[in-house]
Structure 1
Amino acid sequence: MEWTCPIRRGAETRPDALALTFEGQRWTYRELDAEVGRWVGALQARGVAAGDRVALLATNHAAVARLFFALGRLGTVLAPLNARLTRAELQPLLEDASPKLTLRLGGVADRAFPEAELLESLVDEAATSSSHCAPLREETPRVILFTSGTTGRPKGAVLTEGNFRASARASEANLGAHPAPCWLGTLPLFHVGGLAMLTRTAYDGGCLVLRARFDEQDTNRAIDEEGVTHASFVATTLERVLDARKDRRVPSTFRLALIGGGPVPAPLLARARAAGILALQTYGLTEACSQVTTERPAEADGRTAGRALPGLSVRIVGPGGEPLEAGRDGDIEVRGPTVMSGYLNRPEATREAFHDGWLRTKDLGVLDGTGRLTVLSRRTDLIVRGGENIYPAELEAVLASHPAVKEVAVVGVPDAKWGEVPVAFVVTRDERALPEDLGAWCRESLAGFKVPARFLKLPALPRNAMGKVERRVLREQIQAA
């Protein structure tokens, strides 16, 4: 199957519809199509062609969107790199990507990689526009996204045009069609969530309301004044939005919010619903092009991460790879058209990632009788205390329901007697002291072996650019203490 660039198609079918907004600027599909044509011409002038790779260090900016679609018209692959990385961290990624061109946004990585060409200088007033628009095929590589590398050197997941298209179709089928979806783009475009939002709006003929970063006051302005219909949050950013608007109801134009990054406390979901926000929990990963499961709007209850999106399959397997029945916990595996083509230059890692055609996610979970998924933990986050499995998410859900607890993360630390014990890092509300009853609070809902051995107070949890807790940093803090 072949497709044309979605911006070119939008310019032909709905030229005056808004396609992108950023920092007070607005582009219709016709205007964005013309801009992308100039970027194609500038890239061609630098010798960039089909099959090449372009590395990019940038935070969210309209220029990133223009570059992404221009590269698609050339058949060139984008390798977006985390703008927070140091030179030592970037070097092996660039070696793997072997880019024809390395670009950076002004002010980003200026010390880590000053020799990269400035993204803003790629296209100047003298740039010649190009009408070149190569067909996009299902197997056409579009992006190389490097995984976090928690178990070693990061690997580059290769995502294709077919992956992004399938992800957009599956998401729409689950959430319901919208004549002109308007997504708030606060997720970083160097992560799969941000890129999935960028492509989803283009394929659906919608508009991406792109922001350089998340800010709760700005998010509320976008919801109230800019016609935003959809957004993506994690639990902490959702709470910040509700706090900032003092739980004032959102306008009827706002349709729903996807909530990723782990389970959401029930009281927070109740607050969101009271404010008119349909908050749907979701589970996804880079190697499956973002969403894998998501609650369905008509049946969302906040208890699970929902069912597999239409066209995708999820199963739970045991230690030997055998499929398990509902109610039994094990390894989560995924199959479907959103799954990556493989890891860049890593044939052995690619083979290890798949099992009988299923992607091994390295996450642990359980399916209920209706196929709804509960994610228990990452395999690397599982705590084994005296032979008993402890899932951090279970402990975190109990602690998050304590009225004095704002957020919490549980990690396992070595213990001479038990092998490993859980330790809870707690952020309290209103800078209160650490409550003395947290252990008793846990014992009301949890078996004794699951109760954290220690409770440590933090002003805030360390998080990455996607808002996920960096458990590795927490473990290092304990070891350094």
Structure 2
Amino acid sequence: MEFLGNFTLVCDRSDQLAQLTEQFYLELTQFSDWQTPPKIILAEREPVRFLAGFLAAVSAKCPIFLCNPNWAKQEWEQVFDLVQPDIIWGTSYKELVIDNNKTNYQLPITNYPPIMVPTGGSSGKIKFAVHTWETLTASVRGFTEYFQLEKVNSFCVLPLYHVSGLMQFLRCFTTGGKLVISAFKKLADYQLNQLEAGEFFISLVPTQLQSLLQNSDLTTWLSQFQTVLLGGAPAWDEILEKARYYQIRLALTYGMTETASQIAALKPDDFINGKVNSGQILPHAKVLICNDKGDILNTNQTGNITIQAESLALGYYPLAANHQPPVPTFSTDDIGFIDNKGYLNIVGRNSDKIITGGENVYPPEIESAIKATAMVSDVCVVGIPDQYWGQAVTAIYVPKNLDYSIAEIQNLLKDKLSKFKLPKHWIPVEKLPRNSQGKINRQQLQEIALYHIR
């Protein structure tokens, strides 16, 4: 199909993309007599079929819901109950009954069909952020302008149904670039010399970066990339220091599904030169730091992060029946500040804040200090109910060596943290519960902490 333009896809069966897209598109034309376009669930495991389905649905102006094919039956029941799809591509849960007598939520009429991108997951209720081609391509424009690119080439190891994988495709597709897709688990077997890595971006989550840094060949390969975008979850000092040692051109990023990926990024040269923050704001976005009353704060003042961006989602599905074009503002749960050079610094999250003895404590600061002792390989700090303190700061950690004592770690922390920030409970575990993006399941950690401290 001619609409593919100069875009190049490199993966198994990539030569079938045009044919499959046309096949899916023709399937959708059967519904031309419907009063409203059919709603499509897209959960194809195979990348070419996923991209073909996505392009066909957008071309046919059909609402499309991107779904994780690995969701469990209970999650699929939740999604089907919410979406009531007309067409299902890819999922193995076709046997679930769809009650089409339920309310069939309407979507706003725009120049382009709505594209629903999942957010949330196993630790909470699945939601869909409602995007359009316009919001997604606004993110692409901001990205290319910020990094001064005319064409984007990307090596994708992240799932395409997730905003981090989808946006890699859209950057390459809309700029006529090259997209190489590989399963992360197969990277060790990939013919690394086939790729001119210096012409490519690659996006990783911290756990993936940590894994690659444990393989010398993959570490060398990673250091050849033009830029290594890192996001999805906070990165810890140990892997950042190791990446800098190997001159890996990291771009630490800040963004979310609702903003169609990053709205701030630290450029690689800044990272190599020692900076560790979320970088400067991309041109399609604006970040405001506000107090609890909504007043805008000044430079270097810490407060709630509010985002204005052309790439903001319209809301969550289903949108209100009397939906009006949204004010392009999104209030996040994140706490941070913008320094006098325009760099965004994330301090923590309101929902993760611990109030102990009347003092506010943000876990990332404590976690960073604990990791800097080099005595733990992973750690997460949570607050648990305490009759005296209100909440007790609790560290759940993976020890590097069983010979290390808590007293040794605490002794190293005394000069780095105020006394009220020092963990009152320490719980060793074999590993922390993380999802595929590297995000901690804090609800599960709370349960672990309460179990051990009873």
The equivalent residue for 2:39 is 53
Does residue 332 (structure 1) correspond to residue 318 (structure 2)? The answer is: no
Aligned-residue offset at 1:72: 0.9
**For residues 373-420 of structure 1, what are the alpha-carbon distances to aligned partners after superposition, in whole Å with 9 as ceiling and x for unaligned?**
112223211111122111111111111222232222212211111111
Query: C-alpha distance in 2, partners of 1:336/1:439?
Result: 43
**Contact 1:60-1:211 at 8 Å conserved across structures:** no
Which residue is equivalent to 2:26?
A: 41
Give 3-state SS (helix, strand or coil) of 1:398's partner: helix
Q: What residue is the counterpart of 1:227 in the other structure? A: 196
Q: Which amino acid aligns with 1:97?
A: V
- Report which stretch shifted further, 410-419 or 32-41: 32-41
1:90 aligns with 2:59: no
Q: Which amino acid aligns with 1:358?
A: T
Partner in structure 2 of residue 124 of structure 1: none
- CA distance in 2: counterparts of 1:47 and 1:375, whole angstroms: 48
CA distance in 1, matches of 2:370, 2:153: 35
Secondary structure of 1:409 counterpart: strand
Match for 1:99: what amino acid?
Answer: P
The counterpart of 1:364, out of the listed 331, 335, 340, is 335
User: In the TM superposition, what is the alpha-carbon distance from 1:285 to its structure 2 partner?
Assistant: 0.9
- Choose which of 388, 392, 410 in structure 2 pairs with 1:439: 410
1:40–1:376 CA distance, 2 compared to 1 (3 A): same
Q: 2:60 aligns with which of 48, 69, 74?
A: 74
The question of whether the paired residues in 1 share the 8 Å contact of 2:383 and 2:391 is answered with yes
* SS, match of residue 83 in structure 1: coil
Q: Is the CA contact 2:43–2:68 (under 8 Å) kept in the aligned structure 1?
A: yes
CA 450–59 in structure 1, closer or farther in 2 if over 3 Å, else same: farther
Structure 2 counterpart of 1:131: none
SS in 1 for 2:214: helix
What does the per-residue CA deviation read over 1:249-298, in whole Å, with 9 as the maximum and x for residues that have no partner? Answer: 33785211011134333442232233332011101111111111111234
From 157, 161, 166, the equivalent of 2:129 is 157
Q: Give TM-score, length-normalised by structure 2.
A: 0.86
Contact 2:267 2:279 in 1 (8 A): yes
One-letter identity of the residue aligned with 1:269: L
Shift of 1:139: 4.8
CA–CA distance in structure 2, aligned partners of residues 464 and 48 of structure 1: 42
Paired residue secondary structure (1:208): strand
Q: Residues 12-47 of structure 1, C-alpha deviation per residue, up to 9 Å, x if partnerless?
A: xx3xx6x22224x443xxx63343112211333477
| 2:118 equivalent to 1:146 | yes
Q: Distance in 2 between matches of 1:224 and 1:277?
A: 18
Superposition deviation, residue 473 in structure 1: 1.6
In the alignment, structure 1 segments of 5+ residues that lack a partner are 1-6, 118-136
In 2, Cα distance between the equivalents of 1:222 and 1:316? 46
Kept in 1, the 8 Å contact 2:11–2:182? The answer is: yes
How far, CA to CA, are the matches of 1:350 and 1:149 in structure 2?
26
Q: Does 1:190 align with 2:161?
A: yes
Is it true that 1:282 corresponds to 2:253 in the alignment?
Answer: yes
**Per-residue deviation at 1:51?**
3.5
Contact 1:145 1:192 in 2 (8 A): yes
Asked whether the 8 Å contact 1:326–1:366 carries over to 2, the reply is: yes
* Structure 2 Cα separation of the partners of residues 236 and 211 of structure 1: 17
Which secondary structure does the structure 2 equivalent of 1:51 belong to?
A: coil
- Picking from 64, 69, 73, the partner of 2:50 is 64
Residue 302 of structure 1 deviates from its aligned partner by 3.8
Instruction: Give the AA of the match of 1:234.
Output: V
Alignment of 1:196-275 (within 5 A): 196-215=167-186, 217-218=188-189, 221=190, 223-228=192-197, 229-245=200-216, 249-250=220-221, 254-275=225-246
Distance 2:240 2:250 in 1: 7
Q: CA deviation at 1:421?
A: 2.0
For residue 324 of structure 1, report the CA deviation from its aligned partner. 0.9
Q: Look up the match of 1:20.
A: 9
- Once the 2 structures are TM-superposed, how far is the Cα of residue 88 of structure 1 from its aligned partner? 2.4
Unmatched 5+ stretches in structure 2: 99-108
After TM superposition, the score normalised by the length of structure 1 is 0.82
Aligned partners of 2:46, 2:402: CA distance in 1, in Å?
Answer: 35
Which residue number in structure 1 is paired with residue 437 of structure 2? Answer: 466
Matched, 1:168 2:140: yes
- For the 8 Å contact 2:20–2:49, the answer to whether it is kept is no
Match of 2:101 in 1: none
CA distance in 1, matches of 2:78, 2:218: 46
Alpha carbons 1:188, 1:213 under 8 Å: kept: no
The equivalent of 2:277 in structure 1 is 304
Matching residue of 1:342: 315
Amino acid at match of 2:147: L
Distance apart, 1:478 and its partner CA: 2.1
Cα distance in structure 2, aligned partners of 1:309 and 1:315: 13
Q: Deviations over 1:57-100 (max 9, x none)?
A: 34463211111111111011221223343322322322222211
Shift of 1:240: 1.2
Provide closer, same or farther for how the CA distance between residues 427 and 75 of structure 1 changes in structure 2, counting only shifts above 3 A: same
Residues 182 and 227, structure 1, Cα contact 8 Å, conserved in 2: no
Percent identity (aligned): 25
Q: 1:235: how far off?
A: 2.1
In structure 1, what residue type is equivalent to 2:165?
G
- Number of residue pairs the alignment of both structures matches: 435
Q: Any conservation in 2 of the 1:258–1:281 contact (CA below 8 Å)? A: yes
> Mean alpha-carbon deviation: is it higher for 471-480 or for 412-421?
471-480
CA displacement at 1:158 relative to structure 2? 0.2
SS in 2 for 1:243: coil
Q: Which residue among 382, 385, 399 is the counterpart of 1:411?
A: 382
